[in-house]
Structure 1
Amino acid sequence: MQAVVAGLLAELAGLEDPRMREANEKRGDDHGVNLSSLRAVAKRLKTQQELACGLWATDNTAARLLALLICRPKAFERQELDTMLREARAPKVHDWLVNYVVKKSPHAEELRVGWTADPDPVVASAGWALTSERVAKQPEGLDLPGLLDTIEADMKDAPDRLQWAMNQTLAFIGIESAGHRARALDIGERLGVLKDYPTPPNCTSPFAPIWISEMVRRQQAG
Protein backbone atom coordinates (compact mmCIF):
# COMPACT_ATOMS: atom_id res chain seq x y z
CA MET A 1 0.00 0.00 0.00
CA GLN A 2 2.83 2.39 0.83
CA ALA A 3 4.29 1.90 -2.64
CA VAL A 4 0.91 2.64 -4.25
CA VAL A 5 0.49 5.79 -2.18
CA ALA A 6 4.03 6.89 -3.02
CA GLY A 7 3.37 6.31 -6.71
CA LEU A 8 0.19 8.38 -6.58
CA LEU A 9 1.97 11.20 -4.74
CA ALA A 10 4.54 11.24 -7.53
CA GLU A 11 1.78 11.24 -10.15
CA LEU A 12 0.02 14.14 -8.44
CA ALA A 13 3.30 16.05 -8.19
CA GLY A 14 3.70 15.61 -11.93
CA LEU A 15 0.26 17.17 -12.49
CA GLU A 16 1.20 20.32 -10.55
CA ASP A 17 0.78 23.62 -12.41
CA PRO A 18 2.65 26.51 -10.74
CA ARG A 19 0.13 29.08 -11.98
CA MET A 20 -2.77 27.05 -10.64
CA ARG A 21 -1.01 26.65 -7.30
CA GLU A 22 -0.52 30.40 -7.11
CA ALA A 23 -4.23 31.00 -7.78
CA ASN A 24 -5.29 28.29 -5.31
CA GLU A 25 -3.00 29.57 -2.56
CA LYS A 26 -4.82 32.90 -2.62
CA ARG A 27 -7.87 30.92 -1.45
CA GLY A 28 -5.90 28.93 1.13
CA ASP A 29 -5.58 25.74 -0.94
CA ASP A 30 -1.96 24.59 -1.13
CA HIS A 31 -2.02 22.53 -4.32
CA GLY A 32 -1.76 23.14 -8.05
CA VAL A 33 -3.49 20.10 -9.56
CA ASN A 34 -6.28 20.73 -12.02
CA LEU A 35 -9.45 19.25 -10.49
CA SER A 36 -10.49 17.67 -13.79
CA SER A 37 -7.15 15.83 -13.86
CA LEU A 38 -7.67 14.81 -10.24
CA ARG A 39 -11.11 13.43 -11.05
CA ALA A 40 -9.65 11.49 -13.98
CA VAL A 41 -7.19 9.78 -11.62
CA ALA A 42 -10.06 9.00 -9.22
CA LYS A 43 -12.12 7.53 -12.06
CA ARG A 44 -9.24 5.22 -12.94
CA LEU A 45 -8.77 4.10 -9.33
CA LYS A 46 -12.49 3.66 -8.57
CA THR A 47 -13.61 3.19 -4.94
CA GLN A 48 -10.79 1.99 -2.67
CA GLN A 49 -11.35 2.69 1.01
CA GLU A 50 -7.99 1.44 2.27
CA LEU A 51 -6.13 3.46 -0.35
CA ALA A 52 -8.23 6.52 0.48
CA CYS A 53 -7.18 6.25 4.14
CA GLY A 54 -3.55 5.92 3.07
CA LEU A 55 -3.77 9.01 0.89
CA TRP A 56 -5.48 10.99 3.65
CA ALA A 57 -2.71 10.10 6.10
CA THR A 58 -0.11 11.81 3.88
CA ASP A 59 -1.41 15.27 4.88
CA ASN A 60 -0.95 16.31 1.24
CA THR A 61 -3.83 18.47 0.01
CA ALA A 62 -4.06 17.01 -3.51
CA ALA A 63 -3.80 13.48 -2.09
CA ARG A 64 -6.55 14.21 0.42
CA LEU A 65 -8.81 15.53 -2.32
CA LEU A 66 -8.18 12.33 -4.27
CA ALA A 67 -8.92 10.30 -1.11
CA LEU A 68 -12.30 11.96 -0.77
CA LEU A 69 -13.16 10.99 -4.35
CA ILE A 70 -12.32 7.30 -3.97
CA CYS A 71 -13.42 6.63 -0.38
CA ARG A 72 -16.57 4.88 0.79
CA PRO A 73 -18.43 7.57 2.83
CA LYS A 74 -20.50 5.16 4.91
CA ALA A 75 -17.39 3.24 6.00
CA PHE A 76 -16.17 5.99 8.33
CA GLU A 77 -17.07 6.02 12.02
CA ARG A 78 -18.35 9.24 13.57
CA GLN A 79 -15.11 9.91 15.44
CA GLU A 80 -13.06 9.36 12.29
CA LEU A 81 -15.07 12.01 10.45
CA ASP A 82 -14.77 14.41 13.36
CA THR A 83 -10.99 13.97 13.41
CA MET A 84 -10.75 14.36 9.64
CA LEU A 85 -12.72 17.60 9.70
CA ARG A 86 -10.47 19.07 12.37
CA GLU A 87 -7.43 18.11 10.27
CA ALA A 88 -8.92 19.54 7.05
CA ARG A 89 -7.79 23.15 7.16
CA ALA A 90 -7.53 23.69 3.38
CA PRO A 91 -10.90 25.11 2.27
CA LYS A 92 -11.32 22.75 -0.70
CA VAL A 93 -10.57 19.67 1.43
CA HIS A 94 -13.00 20.93 4.07
CA ASP A 95 -15.69 21.57 1.44
CA TRP A 96 -15.31 18.19 -0.28
CA LEU A 97 -15.20 16.31 3.02
CA VAL A 98 -18.51 17.84 4.11
CA ASN A 99 -20.26 17.61 0.76
CA TYR A 100 -18.93 14.34 -0.67
CA VAL A 101 -18.50 12.31 2.50
CA VAL A 102 -20.21 13.60 5.64
CA LYS A 103 -23.53 14.36 3.93
CA LYS A 104 -23.67 10.70 2.84
CA SER A 105 -22.76 9.37 6.27
CA PRO A 106 -25.23 7.85 8.74
CA HIS A 107 -23.52 10.06 11.35
CA ALA A 108 -24.30 13.32 9.55
CA GLU A 109 -27.03 14.53 11.92
CA GLU A 110 -25.08 13.77 15.09
CA LEU A 111 -22.06 15.56 13.66
CA ARG A 112 -24.20 18.50 12.52
CA VAL A 113 -25.45 19.11 16.03
CA GLY A 114 -22.03 18.85 17.61
CA TRP A 115 -20.18 20.88 15.00
CA THR A 116 -22.67 23.76 14.90
CA ALA A 117 -21.99 24.46 18.58
CA ASP A 118 -18.21 24.00 18.32
CA PRO A 119 -16.05 26.95 19.43
CA ASP A 120 -13.77 26.47 16.40
CA PRO A 121 -15.39 28.59 13.65
CA VAL A 122 -14.07 26.33 10.87
CA VAL A 123 -15.66 23.30 12.51
CA ALA A 124 -18.83 25.28 13.21
CA SER A 125 -19.02 26.25 9.53
CA ALA A 126 -19.30 22.55 8.66
CA GLY A 127 -22.20 22.23 11.09
CA TRP A 128 -23.97 25.14 9.44
CA ALA A 129 -23.34 23.65 5.98
CA LEU A 130 -25.07 20.47 7.15
CA THR A 131 -27.87 22.59 8.63
CA SER A 132 -28.45 24.20 5.23
CA GLU A 133 -28.75 20.72 3.77
CA ARG A 134 -31.39 19.80 6.34
CA VAL A 135 -33.33 23.03 5.79
CA ALA A 136 -33.49 22.22 2.09
CA LYS A 137 -34.19 18.49 2.28
CA GLN A 138 -35.50 17.54 5.72
CA PRO A 139 -36.58 20.59 7.74
CA GLU A 140 -38.94 18.66 10.01
CA GLY A 141 -37.75 18.90 13.60
CA LEU A 142 -35.46 21.86 13.04
CA ASP A 143 -36.00 24.95 15.21
CA LEU A 144 -36.07 27.49 12.38
CA PRO A 145 -36.90 30.48 14.63
CA GLY A 146 -34.01 29.48 16.89
CA LEU A 147 -31.66 29.24 13.93
CA LEU A 148 -32.73 32.69 12.79
CA ASP A 149 -32.13 34.02 16.32
CA THR A 150 -28.56 32.68 16.25
CA ILE A 151 -27.92 34.00 12.75
CA GLU A 152 -29.28 37.42 13.67
CA ALA A 153 -27.06 37.59 16.77
CA ASP A 154 -23.83 36.07 15.44
CA MET A 155 -23.51 36.19 11.65
CA LYS A 156 -22.45 39.83 11.27
CA ASP A 157 -19.22 39.38 13.22
CA ALA A 158 -18.51 35.73 12.42
CA PRO A 159 -15.21 34.77 10.70
CA ASP A 160 -15.46 34.47 6.92
CA ARG A 161 -16.08 30.74 6.48
CA LEU A 162 -18.55 30.57 9.33
CA GLN A 163 -20.29 33.72 8.13
CA TRP A 164 -20.63 32.27 4.62
CA ALA A 165 -22.17 29.03 5.97
CA MET A 166 -24.59 30.86 8.28
CA ASN A 167 -25.60 33.13 5.41
CA GLN A 168 -26.37 30.06 3.30
CA THR A 169 -28.64 28.72 6.04
CA LEU A 170 -30.36 32.10 6.25
CA ALA A 171 -30.98 32.07 2.51
CA PHE A 172 -32.21 28.47 2.51
CA ILE A 173 -34.68 29.22 5.31
CA GLY A 174 -35.99 32.17 3.32
CA ILE A 175 -36.25 30.13 0.14
CA GLU A 176 -37.77 26.97 1.59
CA SER A 177 -40.00 28.31 4.39
CA ALA A 178 -42.64 30.81 3.32
CA GLY A 179 -43.62 31.33 6.95
CA HIS A 180 -40.14 32.53 7.88
CA ARG A 181 -39.32 34.31 4.62
CA ALA A 182 -40.16 37.84 5.74
CA ARG A 183 -37.94 37.56 8.81
CA ALA A 184 -35.09 36.02 6.80
CA LEU A 185 -35.29 38.89 4.31
CA ASP A 186 -35.35 41.42 7.13
CA ILE A 187 -32.30 39.90 8.84
CA GLY A 188 -30.41 39.86 5.57
CA GLU A 189 -31.23 43.48 4.82
CA ARG A 190 -30.32 44.75 8.30
CA LEU A 191 -27.06 42.82 8.61
CA GLY A 192 -25.95 43.51 5.04
CA VAL A 193 -23.65 40.48 4.99
CA LEU A 194 -22.16 39.88 1.49
CA LYS A 195 -24.17 42.79 0.11
CA ASP A 196 -21.17 44.01 -1.87
CA TYR A 197 -19.82 40.59 -2.80
CA PRO A 198 -18.51 40.66 -6.41
CA THR A 199 -20.86 38.50 -8.46
CA PRO A 200 -20.15 37.53 -12.09
CA PRO A 201 -22.80 38.30 -14.75
CA ASN A 202 -25.61 35.72 -14.94
CA CYS A 203 -24.85 34.51 -11.40
CA THR A 204 -27.02 35.09 -8.34
CA SER A 205 -25.59 37.24 -5.58
CA PRO A 206 -24.93 35.48 -2.24
CA PHE A 207 -26.51 38.50 -0.49
CA ALA A 208 -29.42 36.71 1.19
CA PRO A 209 -32.30 39.07 0.18
CA ILE A 210 -31.31 38.90 -3.49
CA TRP A 211 -30.64 35.16 -3.32
CA ILE A 212 -33.97 34.43 -1.62
CA SER A 213 -35.99 36.65 -3.94
CA GLU A 214 -34.43 35.18 -7.08
CA MET A 215 -34.89 31.55 -6.03
CA VAL A 216 -38.50 32.14 -4.98
CA ARG A 217 -39.15 33.88 -8.29
CA ARG A 218 -37.80 30.87 -10.17
CA GLN A 219 -39.91 28.47 -8.09
CA GLN A 220 -43.04 30.46 -8.77
CA ALA A 221 -42.23 30.78 -12.47
CA GLY A 222 -41.49 27.11 -12.84
Structure 2
Amino acid sequence: MRRLLPTLFVAAALGCGAPASAAPIDDRPAGEAYAAFDRMARESADDALPRLSTDRGRAVLLGVWNGVALETGRPFDAFDTERLRRICSYGQMVLVRYFDADETAAAASRPPDQRYWLEILEGVDFAIRCAAGLLQAHTALAARYLPGIAYDEARQSWGHLRAQLLDQFNMPLRAIGAGALAGEALDRMAVAFRESAGRVAGMLPQAERDALVALARQAAARAEPLARADLEFFADTVAGR
Protein backbone atom coordinates (compact mmCIF):
# COMPACT_ATOMS: atom_id res chain seq x y z
CA MET A 1 0.00 0.00 0.00
CA ARG A 2 2.42 2.62 -1.15
CA ARG A 3 1.83 6.31 -1.37
CA LEU A 4 0.46 8.04 -4.41
CA LEU A 5 2.73 10.63 -5.99
CA PRO A 6 3.09 13.62 -3.61
CA THR A 7 1.91 15.94 -6.43
CA LEU A 8 -1.55 14.46 -6.09
CA PHE A 9 -1.53 14.75 -2.32
CA VAL A 10 -0.61 18.44 -2.66
CA ALA A 11 -3.51 18.88 -5.04
CA ALA A 12 -5.82 17.15 -2.60
CA ALA A 13 -4.62 19.41 0.21
CA LEU A 14 -5.36 22.48 -1.90
CA GLY A 15 -8.89 21.24 -2.38
CA CYS A 16 -9.56 20.07 1.16
CA GLY A 17 -11.46 23.22 2.04
CA ALA A 18 -14.28 22.15 -0.24
CA PRO A 19 -17.15 20.25 1.39
CA ALA A 20 -16.79 16.46 1.47
CA SER A 21 -19.70 14.25 0.49
CA ALA A 22 -19.80 12.57 3.92
CA ALA A 23 -18.12 12.71 7.32
CA PRO A 24 -14.43 11.78 6.95
CA ILE A 25 -13.48 8.22 7.85
CA ASP A 26 -11.92 8.13 11.32
CA ASP A 27 -8.39 6.72 11.32
CA ARG A 28 -7.74 7.22 15.04
CA PRO A 29 -9.05 3.84 16.29
CA ALA A 30 -6.81 2.01 13.83
CA GLY A 31 -3.80 4.06 14.93
CA GLU A 32 -4.52 3.37 18.60
CA ALA A 33 -4.96 -0.34 17.90
CA TYR A 34 -1.68 -0.41 15.98
CA ALA A 35 0.13 1.22 18.91
CA ALA A 36 -1.43 -1.35 21.28
CA PHE A 37 -0.35 -4.18 18.96
CA ASP A 38 3.21 -2.87 18.90
CA ARG A 39 3.28 -2.70 22.72
CA MET A 40 1.95 -6.25 23.04
CA ALA A 41 4.51 -7.58 20.56
CA ARG A 42 7.41 -5.84 22.33
CA GLU A 43 6.27 -7.03 25.76
CA SER A 44 5.98 -10.68 24.71
CA ALA A 45 8.58 -12.77 26.55
CA ASP A 46 8.85 -15.37 23.77
CA ASP A 47 8.58 -12.96 20.79
CA ALA A 48 5.13 -14.35 19.99
CA LEU A 49 2.69 -12.03 18.24
CA PRO A 50 -0.85 -11.40 19.53
CA ARG A 51 -3.34 -14.17 18.77
CA LEU A 52 -6.95 -13.96 17.63
CA SER A 53 -7.64 -16.80 20.08
CA THR A 54 -7.10 -14.55 23.12
CA ASP A 55 -9.52 -11.82 24.12
CA ARG A 56 -6.82 -9.14 24.32
CA GLY A 57 -5.15 -10.16 21.07
CA ARG A 58 -8.45 -10.38 19.21
CA ALA A 59 -9.55 -6.92 20.36
CA VAL A 60 -6.27 -5.38 19.20
CA LEU A 61 -6.11 -7.19 15.86
CA LEU A 62 -9.73 -6.51 14.96
CA GLY A 63 -9.07 -2.89 15.84
CA VAL A 64 -6.24 -2.77 13.31
CA TRP A 65 -7.94 -5.00 10.73
CA ASN A 66 -11.34 -3.35 11.04
CA GLY A 67 -13.04 -4.73 7.96
CA VAL A 68 -16.43 -3.58 9.24
CA ALA A 69 -15.37 0.04 8.74
CA LEU A 70 -14.66 -0.74 5.09
CA GLU A 71 -18.04 -2.39 4.46
CA THR A 72 -20.09 0.78 4.89
CA GLY A 73 -22.46 1.70 2.09
CA ARG A 74 -21.10 5.15 1.33
CA PRO A 75 -18.41 5.40 -1.34
CA PHE A 76 -14.95 6.73 -0.54
CA ASP A 77 -13.99 9.91 -2.34
CA ALA A 78 -10.94 12.11 -2.83
CA PHE A 79 -11.24 13.56 0.67
CA ASP A 80 -10.87 10.10 2.24
CA THR A 81 -7.54 9.21 0.65
CA GLU A 82 -5.11 10.27 3.37
CA ARG A 83 -7.02 8.81 6.31
CA LEU A 84 -7.87 5.64 4.43
CA ARG A 85 -4.22 5.27 3.43
CA ARG A 86 -3.18 5.49 7.08
CA ILE A 87 -5.75 2.89 8.13
CA CYS A 88 -4.58 0.51 5.42
CA SER A 89 -0.91 1.16 6.21
CA TYR A 90 -1.41 0.17 9.84
CA GLY A 91 -3.09 -3.05 8.76
CA GLN A 92 -0.46 -3.80 6.13
CA MET A 93 2.42 -3.32 8.57
CA VAL A 94 0.83 -5.74 11.02
CA LEU A 95 0.10 -8.29 8.29
CA VAL A 96 3.76 -8.21 7.15
CA ARG A 97 4.80 -8.98 10.75
CA TYR A 98 2.61 -12.09 10.73
CA PHE A 99 3.88 -13.28 7.36
CA ASP A 100 7.47 -12.91 8.61
CA ALA A 101 6.70 -14.66 11.90
CA ASP A 102 4.93 -17.50 10.11
CA GLU A 103 7.89 -18.01 7.77
CA THR A 104 10.22 -18.15 10.78
CA ALA A 105 7.96 -20.70 12.47
CA ALA A 106 7.81 -22.79 9.30
CA ALA A 107 11.61 -22.74 8.93
CA ALA A 108 11.89 -23.99 12.53
CA SER A 109 9.40 -26.82 11.76
CA ARG A 110 7.02 -25.63 14.46
CA PRO A 111 3.60 -27.31 14.64
CA PRO A 112 0.55 -25.59 13.10
CA ASP A 113 -0.69 -24.24 16.45
CA GLN A 114 2.53 -22.23 16.76
CA ARG A 115 2.10 -20.63 13.35
CA TYR A 116 -0.14 -17.73 12.31
CA TRP A 117 -2.54 -18.93 9.63
CA LEU A 118 -5.69 -17.58 11.32
CA GLU A 119 -4.15 -14.16 11.82
CA ILE A 120 -2.84 -14.04 8.26
CA LEU A 121 -6.28 -14.96 6.94
CA GLU A 122 -7.85 -12.10 8.88
CA GLY A 123 -5.20 -9.71 7.61
CA VAL A 124 -5.57 -10.75 3.97
CA ASP A 125 -9.34 -10.34 4.22
CA PHE A 126 -8.72 -6.79 5.40
CA ALA A 127 -6.10 -6.16 2.68
CA ILE A 128 -8.62 -7.03 -0.05
CA ARG A 129 -11.16 -4.61 1.40
CA CYS A 130 -8.48 -1.94 1.79
CA ALA A 131 -7.35 -2.29 -1.80
CA ALA A 132 -10.92 -1.76 -2.97
CA GLY A 133 -11.36 1.28 -0.75
CA LEU A 134 -8.06 2.81 -1.82
CA LEU A 135 -8.82 2.18 -5.48
CA GLN A 136 -12.17 3.93 -5.15
CA ALA A 137 -10.78 6.90 -3.21
CA HIS A 138 -7.70 7.39 -5.38
CA THR A 139 -9.73 7.08 -8.58
CA ALA A 140 -11.89 9.94 -7.32
CA LEU A 141 -8.72 11.89 -6.45
CA ALA A 142 -7.23 11.29 -9.88
CA ALA A 143 -10.47 12.24 -11.63
CA ARG A 144 -10.58 15.48 -9.64
CA TYR A 145 -6.98 16.60 -10.13
CA LEU A 146 -5.21 14.71 -12.92
CA PRO A 147 -6.95 16.53 -15.80
CA GLY A 148 -5.29 19.71 -14.61
CA ILE A 149 -1.83 18.19 -14.10
CA ALA A 150 0.41 18.25 -17.13
CA TYR A 151 3.19 16.10 -15.73
CA ASP A 152 3.56 12.64 -17.24
CA GLU A 153 5.17 11.56 -13.97
CA ALA A 154 1.90 12.14 -12.14
CA ARG A 155 -0.07 10.05 -14.60
CA GLN A 156 2.55 7.31 -14.57
CA SER A 157 2.53 7.24 -10.76
CA TRP A 158 -1.25 6.88 -10.75
CA GLY A 159 -0.86 3.93 -13.10
CA HIS A 160 1.78 2.38 -10.83
CA LEU A 161 -0.39 2.81 -7.76
CA ARG A 162 -3.38 1.27 -9.53
CA ALA A 163 -1.23 -1.71 -10.51
CA GLN A 164 -0.13 -2.17 -6.89
CA LEU A 165 -3.73 -2.11 -5.70
CA LEU A 166 -4.74 -4.58 -8.40
CA ASP A 167 -2.07 -6.97 -7.12
CA GLN A 168 -4.03 -7.18 -3.87
CA PHE A 169 -6.85 -8.73 -5.92
CA ASN A 170 -4.77 -10.60 -8.48
CA MET A 171 -2.62 -12.58 -6.06
CA PRO A 172 -5.45 -14.24 -4.10
CA LEU A 173 -7.46 -14.78 -7.28
CA ARG A 174 -4.50 -16.54 -8.89
CA ALA A 175 -4.08 -18.68 -5.77
CA ILE A 176 -7.75 -19.65 -5.89
CA GLY A 177 -7.55 -20.34 -9.61
CA ALA A 178 -4.54 -22.59 -9.01
CA GLY A 179 -6.47 -24.58 -6.41
CA ALA A 180 -4.14 -23.42 -3.62
CA LEU A 181 -6.95 -22.23 -1.34
CA ALA A 182 -9.97 -24.08 -0.02
CA GLY A 183 -12.30 -24.22 2.96
CA GLU A 184 -12.47 -21.28 5.34
CA ALA A 185 -9.69 -19.37 3.60
CA LEU A 186 -11.47 -19.50 0.26
CA ASP A 187 -14.85 -18.67 1.76
CA ARG A 188 -13.49 -15.65 3.66
CA MET A 189 -11.70 -14.24 0.63
CA ALA A 190 -14.71 -14.80 -1.62
CA VAL A 191 -16.91 -12.82 0.80
CA ALA A 192 -14.32 -10.01 0.86
CA PHE A 193 -14.38 -9.91 -2.94
CA ARG A 194 -18.17 -9.86 -3.06
CA GLU A 195 -18.44 -7.06 -0.50
CA SER A 196 -15.73 -5.05 -2.31
CA ALA A 197 -17.23 -5.40 -5.78
CA GLY A 198 -19.16 -2.14 -5.69
CA ARG A 199 -16.02 -0.16 -4.84
CA VAL A 200 -14.10 -1.68 -7.77
CA ALA A 201 -16.81 -1.41 -10.43
CA GLY A 202 -16.19 1.46 -12.84
CA MET A 203 -12.78 2.29 -11.38
CA LEU A 204 -10.46 0.64 -13.92
CA PRO A 205 -9.43 1.20 -17.54
CA GLN A 206 -11.01 -1.39 -19.81
CA ALA A 207 -7.93 -3.58 -20.29
CA GLU A 208 -7.27 -3.77 -16.53
CA ARG A 209 -10.95 -4.37 -15.83
CA ASP A 210 -11.15 -7.18 -18.37
CA ALA A 211 -8.00 -8.84 -17.00
CA LEU A 212 -9.34 -8.70 -13.43
CA VAL A 213 -12.72 -10.09 -14.51
CA ALA A 214 -11.00 -12.95 -16.35
CA LEU A 215 -8.99 -13.84 -13.23
CA ALA A 216 -12.12 -13.74 -11.08
CA ARG A 217 -13.96 -16.04 -13.47
CA GLN A 218 -11.03 -18.48 -13.52
CA ALA A 219 -11.04 -18.48 -9.71
CA ALA A 220 -14.80 -19.00 -9.60
CA ALA A 221 -14.49 -22.02 -11.86
CA ARG A 222 -12.22 -23.72 -9.28
CA ALA A 223 -14.21 -22.71 -6.20
CA GLU A 224 -16.83 -24.60 -4.21
CA PRO A 225 -20.46 -23.51 -4.86
CA LEU A 226 -20.75 -20.95 -2.04
CA ALA A 227 -17.48 -19.20 -2.83
CA ARG A 228 -18.14 -19.57 -6.56
CA ALA A 229 -21.32 -17.51 -6.27
CA ASP A 230 -19.45 -14.74 -4.45
CA LEU A 231 -16.63 -14.67 -7.00
CA GLU A 232 -19.06 -14.70 -9.92
CA PHE A 233 -20.89 -11.77 -8.30
CA PHE A 234 -17.57 -9.90 -8.06
CA ALA A 235 -16.77 -10.65 -11.70
CA ASP A 236 -20.21 -9.64 -12.95
CA THR A 237 -20.24 -6.43 -10.91
CA VAL A 238 -16.77 -5.35 -12.03
CA ALA A 239 -17.68 -6.20 -15.62
CA GLY A 240 -20.71 -3.92 -15.33
CA ARG A 241 -23.35 -6.60 -15.75
TM over 0.5: no
TM-score band (shorter)?
0.3 to 0.5
TM-score (norm 2): 0.41
Q: Specify which structure has the bigger relative contact order, considering alpha-carbon pairs within 8 angstroms and separated by 6 or more residues.
A: 2
